Chain A
C-alpha cells in the first residue's frame, strides 16, 4: 500500500490538471470512475466487486522506444499504470491479480493517428442546417465525437495489431470536421474519449464538377478541380478569421452594428484559422503535402499531414516543411511481371515506389520529420502487420516502428502526457507480444486498454506443452509400429507422434525419407490433423513436411481430439484420438477403425524437450521439397514460375536492401530524373551561328559567354573575356550549330495537377494555377528536349473568367519552388465563345451574356475595392468598432486587373467577341495582356493594334469547331504586319516540343523575315508576359536561357542538342542517352526484385492500390496491375453518375488503346474537352489514393 498511496497523489493531481485543460478545449481525458459507471445498468442482484489492480510479470518491457527492461513488472490500478520496475525492485501490493507473461514483450499501447469513419450522413445534415456554409463540402462543424463510434469488429481488428487508441477522423468533404481520440476497448471504460477535439480535418477533395446525387450530372458544383479545392480552403480560412473578428467587434460594440450572421461552419473554424487548433490535411500525394504546408504558412495554420506514403520522394522539402506526418502502410502491390509486356508499361516512378514505399517511414524519421505509422488508406487493416514486417525488412528498426506507433502519434495528437509510454501515471494501455512486435512469427497476444485486458491470441491454458516420451501402451499388439514420443503444442494446435528412428514401417520409402530429411536427433513426426483424415497423403507422412501438419487438432483447456492416419502404425484407415490432460500428466487414447482402443498414460515428468519451432520446421520443409522436386513430375512448371529458387535456398530470403540502396536518388524520383544538374560557373559557346533576336540579328561564327546564369557577352572572340579558371568554364564548340534564345510558350497546360479547369462557376478568378504546378511532369523534360525554356501555364477556357496563370521556367530536376519566373506580372485566363457558353444551364449561355457578366464582375470588384479602402481609411478608433469588409480572393484578383497589376490572357476566336472584350477593357480602363488563339485576329488586326493587346496564336490550327472555320495560317503574319506583338503558342503537351518549326510557319505563310519569325516563339511571348527584361533574346544581362541546335532552327531537320535555363544545362543529347541506360538498369534491378521471393511475398502487401499511376504522379499511362485505388466511402454506388463515369472511363480507355495519353492536352481543346471527362474521373479517386 506504500506504493499505492505514493502514486495516488500525483496521478490524481494530473487527472485534475487534465480536466482543467479539457475545459479550455485543449485536452479532455475522461477516465473518471463516474463516467465509466454512468452507463452501467443498476445491478439486478448483488453489487459486483471490481478488483482493478493487475500486474504483468515475467516480461521484457519496452517502456518507450530504446528503453528495455528485462524481467519487468508492470502494475496497473484503476486504468492507470501505477508502477513499473524490475522484478524484486518493489513489492506487489496486496490484492493484485498477477499475470504471467512468460516470454512476452510488453510495449506501450499503439496509437493510430488516423482512422477514418464515414461521416457523409453527418456532412449532409450539417450542410443542410441553418448557418451552413454555401458549399456543401465545407462542414467543419461535424464532430467525430458526435458520430457513431467504431464498430466492435473494427476495434477488434485494430486491437489485433496492438492499437489501443485511435484518432477518429471524419471522411467526407473538404472541411470535414473535427477529429477525436478514443480508446479502442470493448467496455465503456475502455472505449472512452481521450481527447475530444484533436484538430479539424481538411482534404483536397473535389466534386469532379458534380455532386453525388444521381440527377446532378448537369449541375456543376464547386470545386471541380484541385485548384478550386485549394482556393476554397484559402477563402474559408480567411472567412473564418474575418467572422471571428466580426464577432469580436459585435461583442465589444453591439450598438449600431449588425450582428454577424449565423455561420456554424465558420464558427467551428475560428480556433483553427487563428492557429490555435491543429489542422489535419489529407495529402493524397507528396505534392499535396507541400501544398498543404504552403497554405498553412500563408494562413498561419498549425498543420499536420495525413500522408500518402510517397513523402520520401520529396524528403528535403518535407523536412523543411517540418509538419508531423501520419504515414500510411498501404504499400503498392508487386508489379505484374507475369502478364507479357505489362511491366514495360509501368513508369519507373511506380516501380521505384513499389520498391521504396516500405522505406518511407524510416526515411522520414531519419530526416527528423515527426512521423506516425497508421492503418489509414489500408483497404484491409489486417495487412498492416505484413506491411510493418516489410518495412522492417527494408531497414526500419523495431525502435523506430514502435516510436511511430506510440510516442510520435501521442505527441501529434497532444496526448503524450497520458499515452504513448509505459510509465507510472499514464493510461494503462499495453501491447503484450510473443516475440518482437511484427517479427516473423510474432503475434500480439493481448492488449490492455485502460487497465482492462483484451485478448487477441491468448496462450492456451492446456497444461502440457512439449515433447513427451511414450512408454508402452496399455494394449500391446494392436500396432505393428509403436510411436516413441508425442508432441503436444496447444498454441500451435498441434499433436503428433514420433516414430522409431529406424522405422520398421512396411513402407520402407517413408522411413528412408524420414531419415534423410530430418535432423538425426529429432524423432520422425507423424501428424494428427483435426480437420481431415489422412488418406493417400498419409502414406507419405514422414516424407512430407511435418510443419505443414499437426495443426488443427482440436484443443480446449484440458482436452484434445484429433484423427490420424493408421498406416504408419500398421493399421488400415484412420484412427481417432483423444487427450485428457492435467498438470500432472495426460491420458492419450487412439481408437482403431474396428473399435479397439489403445491408451497411454503420459506423466508430465516424461517431457524430453520443447515443441519444435514452427518456423524452423517450415524451412526444413522447404529443403525437403527441393529434394523431392528432383523426381517430381511437375518440376518444369515449378521452375517456370521461379518457385524452385526459393525452395532451394530456404534460408536465404532475398534481401531487398542492396537493390533499394542502389536506386539513384534523382529529382524527380522517376524516369529521366536528375541527380545533379550541370551548372558551371561560366559557359562559352564558340563559333556558332547566334540568333541574337536583337538589333544585331543573326551572327555567323559568333560566341556566347554566360556567367552565373546570366549572359555576359555575345560576339566574336569571347574566349579572351573568360576570367574563371578552367574547371569552372564549360567551353562548347558550336561549329556548324545554331544558338537561339530559349523558346517560350505563351499558352501551356503542361504540369498542372488535378485539372486545368475550375469550370463549375462562371467566374473563378480566385483559383491559382501556381497552387498546383507539377515539377515532375515528364512533358517538361520532353519540351526541354525541343528547346522550350519557359511557359505560361494557363487555366482552361470553360468559363468566362477563369483562374490565375503561372509563368514558369522549365527547371526540370528542381523542386517546384524553383519554377516561377521571378518578376513576371501575374495574369489570369479569360475565355470567350463556344467553350464558355457550352453549359446551357447557367449564365452565360450565349456570347451576349459573356459581355454583361464581365462588366458586372468588374463593377463589383471596383465597388468592393472602394469599400475596402473606405474601411482602411477609417481612424483607428472608428475602425475598431466597424465590421470589416469580407475578404474576397475573387474580387481582389479582378480589382488587380483594373489596377493594371494583373494581365488578362483571353481565349478568343471570333472577331466580334474580340472587339467586345477590347471595348470592355477600354471602358474599364485596362489593357488586355494577350488575346489567346485569336484565330480571327487577322480580321480585326487594326483594332487589336490600336488597343495594344498582344496576340498569341496557333500557327495553323483550324476546323476543329465552328468558331475556327475561318482560321487561316496567314493570321500571325497579318497581325504582325498590323503592328501587334504576335507569338505562336502550343496549347499542347506535344506541340510545345517543337515550337521552332511553328515559327517557321510565319515564314511559310506570309514571308515574315526569319529574324522576326523566331521572335514569335522567343522575344514576343516574353514581351507578352512582361519578362522581356530577362528572357527572349541573347543580350548581355539577360538570363542565360538558350538552345543549341544542330542546324537552322527554322528547318524541320534541326535537332535540339542542348537546352540551358539560367546557365544550368537542363537537356543534353548525350546525357539523355546516359539517363536512358541508367533508368533501364534501375528498372531491371527492380523488376528482378519483384520477381524474387521478396517480391512475390509483397503480392497484396498492405492491400493498397498499386500503381496509382502517374504522370509526375498524375495518372499517366499504364501502371502496375493491382487493385483499383481505394475509393472514398462517400462516392461509391452505382448511381447514374457512376455509370456515366463508366462511360467516360471507356472513352479514356479507348484513347489509351489507340496510343493516346488521355491526360495530354491537345491544341484547341484548351483543357476543355478531355479535361471535362478527366475531372469527372478525378472525383472517383479524389478522396483517397488519387495521385494528382
Chain B
C-alpha cells in the first residue's frame, strides 16, 4: 500500500495543523482536501446500540465519514494518497456537544459590554442565538481542547426566551458556524411551589398568585400565537407579527419547545402544559426529573440534564443527587443528554462531569452518547452530527485516553473533515511566560523550542525532535 504518513508537529505554542496554519491564532479549518485514515484507534461510534471498537479504523473524506471497522483494515478501504494516522492507545469520538450553553454569546461575565446573552423583556420568541455568537471569542477554542466541537447555544432571560441555535465551534463567520439556527424555543417555567426563605417577603398565597399570573401569561402568549397563525392562514394579507411568526414551527410541532425546569413541580406543570397544547417538549435542567420520570416516559419527553457537578436542590436531598440523575433517568427509560451547566468558559468540565455520572452507576457508552449523538438530535442535526458512521460529518476528536478522565488530552480534532487548530488563549499565555523562564535561565542557542510538559508528542509526531 502506498501510504504517505502525514507528519504533524506538536508543540506547546501551537498544536498546529501542518502547512496551512503557521499562525497561532486559531485559524479556522479549511475544507478537507485529502482523505484521512485513522488506524489502530479505539473508535466510539455512538450510534444507537453500538459498542466501542477497540483497535479500529476510520476513513473520512470530503468532510464525511466514509467507512469504519475493526482492524485489520482492508487495503482497498483507503486511497493510495490518503493521510494515515496511526493512533494506538488513542480514542476517537464524535465531537462533543456543549448543550444549553451561552458559548459565544458572552466573554466576561462582569464586563457588561461582552454580554449578549439576555434580551430585554419577557416574551421575545423571535430572537436567535445564532445571530451573535462571536466567531472570534476566546472561549470556544478552550472548549475545543476538551473535545467540544459543537454547541447548542441558548439565549437567556425572559419567559419565552427565543430560539436556541446549533453551532459549529469552528468557522470564519456566523454563517459558517451555524448548523441549525432554529433549534428550539426556550420557555423559562415559573417556580410552582411557594418558596419560604428568610429573604422571601411574599407569603405563600402571594407567591401562588404570582405563579398563576405567570403561567397565565405564557398561555396567553401562545394562545395569541396560535390564533394569529390560524388567522394568517385564512387571510395571508394580515400584517405580519414577528414574534408569533417565529413560533410557527413550534406550534406545528416541527421545532421543540425547550422547557427550562429543574424542580419536580416545574417539570410536571410545564410538560403537562406542552402536552396539552400538542407541542414537542424537551426539559432543560432536569435536576428533579427522576422524581417525575414516569410522566416523562409516558409522554416521551426527553431531558437535557444541565450539570452533574451541582448541589442538590433541597437540603433533604442526598449529597449525590445530581451525580446520580443520569443513572436514574437511564434506569427509568427517559431519553436525555448531559450538559455542563457551567459558565461557557468552563465548558471543558463536561467530559469529567460525564465521568462522575459513570462513577455513580451510569453506563459509560450511554454517557458518551449523551454528549454526542443525543444532543445532536436534540439540536435538530442528528442526521449530520453526533455519530461516527458512514455519511455522517467527520467531526471527530482524537483523545490520548479515556475522554472522561481529567488526565486525557485532545490530540487532534476535525470539523467536517477539516483539522482544527487546537491552540487557544490559555496556551498562548502559557507559552509566553515559559519564555520568561527561558530568558531568566538562558539555554543553548540551538535548544529545542519550549515544550508544554503535558503535551507529549501527538501520534505520528517525530519521536525525538531534538538533534
B195, B199, B263, B348: the one contacting A956 at CB < 8 Å is B348
Give, as a whole number of angstroms, the nearest-CB distance from B143 to chain A: 11
Residue of A nearest to B200 (CB): A1124
In contact, B309 and A990 (Cβ under 8 angstroms): yes
Q: Which of B268, B314, B360, B429 contacts A968 (CB 8 A)?
A: B429
Given contacts A785-B319, A1115-B197, contact A834 B313 (CB under 8 A): no
Whether B454 pairs with A1005 at a CB distance below 8 angstroms is: yes
User: In the complex, which residue of chain B has the Cβ closest to the Cβ of A1006?
Assistant: B453
Query: A959 near B343 (CB under 8 angstroms)?
Result: yes
Contact code string B310-324 (vs A, CB < 8 Å = 1, else 0): 111111101110000
Are B311 and A989 in contact, CB atoms less than 8 angstroms apart? Answer: yes
Q: Is the CB of B318 within 8 A of A961?
A: no
Q: Does A1116 contact B (CB under 8 A)?
A: yes
B295-319 interface (Cβ within 8 A of A): 306, 309-316, 318-319
A interface, size bucket: 35 or more
CB distance from A775 to the nearest CB of B (A): 15
Q: How far is the CB of B283 from chain A (nearest CB, A)?
A: 12
Chain B: CB-nearest residue to A964: B108
Please state if B194 and A1076 are interface contacts (CB–CB under 8 Å).
no
Known: A962-B110, A1052-B406. A939 touches B436 (CB 8 A): yes
Interface digits, A973-1010 against B, CB 8 Å rule (1 contact, 0 not)?
11000000000000001110110010011011111000
Instruction: Decide if A425 is an interface residue (CB 8 Å cutoff).
Output: no
Contact A973 B453 (CB under 8 A): yes
Rounded to whole angstroms, the CA-CA distance of A221 and B228 in the bound complex is: 54
Q: Does B111 contact A (CB under 8 A)?
A: yes
Residues of A near B404 (CB, < 8 A) are 1052-1053
Q: Are A1051 and B405 in contact (CB under 8 A)?
A: yes
State which of A958, A994, A1155 has its C-beta within 8 Å of the C-beta of B345: A958
Tell me if A1072 and B315 are in contact (CB < 8 A): no
Q: Which of B202, B319, B405 contacts A782 (CB 8 A)?
A: B319
> Chain A, 1105-1123, contact with B by CB distance < 8 Å: what is the 0/1 string?
0111111001111111111
Which A residues lie within 8 Å of B192 (CB)? 340-341
Q: Are B111 and A1124 in contact (CB under 8 A)?
A: no
A181 interface residue (CB < 8 Å to B): no
Which residues of B, 46-75, contact A by the 8 Å Cβ criterion? none
Q: Are B406 and A779 in contact (CB under 8 A)?
A: no
A344–B264 CB distance below 8 A: yes
Flag if B315 contacts A993 (CB, 8 Å): no
Option from A970, A1110, A1117, A1153 in Cβ contact (under 8 Å) with B190: A1153
Most buried by A among B139, B263, B409, B433: B433
A917 interface residue (CB < 8 Å to B): no
For residue B451, give the distance in angstroms from its CB to the closest CB of chain A. 10
Are B433 and A939 in touch, CB under 8 angstroms? yes
Candidates B111, B318, B360, B425; contact of A962 at CB < 8 Å: B111
Interface of A is mostly: loop
- Residues 245-282 (chain B) with a chain A CB within 8 angstroms: 260, 262-266, 268
Q: Please give the distance in Å from A577's CB to the nearest CB on chain B.
A: 43
Q: A671 touching B111 by the CB < 8 A rule?
A: no
Instruction: Tell me whether A1052 and B359 are in contact (CB under 8 A).
Output: yes
Q: Which of B14-22, B331-339, B350-358 contacts A (4 or more CB under 8 A)?
A: B350-358
A968 adjacent to B430 (CB under 8 Å)? yes
Q: Is the beta-carbon distance between A1118 and B193 smaller than 8 angstroms?
A: yes
In the complex, residue of chain A having the shortest beta-carbon distance to the beta carbon of B427: A968
User: Which of B111, B196, B313, B433 contacts A1106, CB < 8 Å?
Assistant: B196
Structural contact, A1174 and B199, CB atoms closer than 8 A: yes
Contacts of A104 in B (CB 8 A): none
Q: Which residues of B contact A336 (CB under 8 A)?
A: 194, 204
Does B232 have its Cβ within 8 Å of any Cβ on chain A?
no
Interface presence of B109 (CB below 8 A): yes
Which residue on chain A has the smallest CB distance to residue B284? Answer: A1154
The total of interchain contacts (Cβ-Cβ below 8 angstroms) comes to: 245
Residue ID in chain B nearest A939 by CB atoms: B433
Complex CA–CA separation, A1115 to B193 (angstroms): 16
A1052, B315: Cβ atoms closer than 8 Å: no
Tell yes or no: B5 within 8 A of A by CB.
no
Q: How far is the CA of A1053 from the CA of B189 in the complex (A)?
A: 34
Complex CA distance for A960 and B108, rounded to whole angstroms: 5
Given A960-B345, A990-B310, A1072-B318, does the pair A1152, B191 have CB atoms closer than 8 Å? yes
Partner among B199, B285, B311, B345 whose Cβ is within 8 Å of the Cβ of A779: B311
Contact present for B191 and A1109 (CB under 8 Å): no
User: Cβ of B454: which chain A residues have Cβ within 8 Å of it?
Assistant: 970, 1004-1007
Q: Is the CB of A1076 within 8 A of B108?
A: no
Tell whether A1083 pairs with B316 under 8 Å between CB atoms, given A959-B343, A1006-B454, A1155-B287.
yes
Check if A1107 sits within 8 Å of B356, measured CB to CB. no
Q: Contacts A344-B314, A970-B452, A1153-B188 hold; do A1115 and B204 have CB atoms under 8 A apart?
A: no
Interface centre among A670, A961, A1111, A1121 (most CB of B within 10 A): A1121
Considering only residues 103-138 of chain B, those with a C-beta below 8 Å from chain A are 107-111, 138
B201 and A341: CB pair below 8 A?
no
**Complex contacts, A1106 vs chain B, CB 8 Å:** 196
A347, A960, A1123: the one within 8 Å of B203 (CB): A1123
B208 within 8 A of A: yes
User: Would you call A1052 and B352 a contact (CB within 8 A)?
Assistant: yes
- B198 interface contact, C-beta 8 A: yes
Contacts of A973 in B (CB 8 A): 453
Chain B residues proximal to chain A, CB less than 8 Å: 107-111, 138-139, 188-204, 207-208, 260, 262-266, 268, 285, 287-288, 306, 309-316, 318-320, 343-346, 348, 352, 355-356, 358-360, 404-409, 425-427, 429-430, 433, 436, 440, 452-454
7 nearest A-B residue pairs (beta carbon): A1121-B204, A1155-B262, A1052-B355, A959-B345, A1177-B199, A1115-B198, A1115-B197
Please name 15 pairs of A and B residues whose Cβ atoms are closer than 8 Å in the assembled complex, sorted by A.
Answer: A341-B263, A671-B316, A834-B110, A961-B110, A970-B452, A1006-B454, A1052-B355, A1052-B359, A1052-B404, A1083-B316, A1117-B197, A1154-B260, A1155-B285, A1155-B310, A1158-B199
Contacts A1051-B405, A1154-B285 given; 8 further ones with Cβ under 8 A? A340-B192, A342-B193, A959-B346, A1052-B356, A1052-B406, A1110-B315, A1119-B196, A1149-B200
